[in-house]
Amino acid sequence: MKWFTSIFIYLALISAAAIAFSTDFINGRIIGGQEAQRGQFPFQAALRINVTDRPTFSTCGGSLIAPDYTLTAAHCVLIKDVMNIEVHLGAHEILNIEEEGRLRVVVQPENFFAHKDYNSRSIVNDIALLKFDQKVTFTDRIQPIALPSWSDVNVDFEGKIVVASGWGRYSDDVQGISPVLRYAETPVESQRICMHYYQNYEIVTDSNICIYTGVGKGTCNGDSGGPLTYTDENGRKIIVGLTSFGSDIGCVEPGWPSVFTRITSFLDWIEENSDIKINP
């Protein structure tokens, strides 16, 4: 990759697709990862964003955090003329609409709650909630992911192994989405190093968490809104990030971190905009 390639910041709402799920998944990719086992990520959601008077739609990732709430990125819901968002839970084979154990929940715009201070230029506060009209029933394929506790607020997770998951393209050589859910494990990058790479844009802040891509693993163009998870010392999985943005000079150009919304920076916002209570 030529280093003089002009660098710009992508959000993942790039792709438009045909009426079925047989389309690009936001041009998102889980790079250098592997296929998940069925039910390995029961909190994983696929979002289909339907727009009024268009035969096409966009897609994002999300995470089930309660029986009636999915967490995603603000830029996934703040779309002009959005009609509704379909939240697909329990999916593994993304193209298989009739997949056993899968549930589709349709969310109307009045139940989209994007952060009021989200800024599409600086990409700050890139977080949103989708509220369901009815609570879903949990199964072995549909389970919520735990949120961080208040005691985690000052934890930076630097060096900890985290997992990004989604259905995005997993190689520049592959066209279209992955037909199955994939994931990649990689360490959390130093905040100082992440800020250094993006210093010309002044968009990485303490409310972001970044992952190291020097091992050839990461996200590229998104799986926007999808989860970044960490397994604590008690074996409990918690969501620590939402896929937000990265550099567009290549999928895992060594060094350039993928950037996520840091969940611990928004625990108060989650409590204020839902009936979810954060653990001490």
Active-site amino acid positions: 75, 126, 224
Of 175, 211, 204, 176, give the one whose Cα is nearest residue 190: 211
Residue 40: phi, psi to the nearest 5?
-65, -30
Decide: 261 and 248 in contact? Cβ < 8 Å: no
One-letter amino acid at 245 equals F
d(CA 150, CA 235): 18
CA-based angle 136:127:150, to the nearest 5? 80
d(CA 5, CA 7): 6
| Residue 267: its H or E element | helix 267-272
Cα four-point dihedral sign 64, 259, 154, 238: positive
Of 190, 218, 203, 215, give the one whose Cα is nearest residue 261: 203
239 Cα distance to chain centroid = 10
* Measured CA distances, 150 to 142, 153, 170, 270 (Å): 25, 6, 34, 12
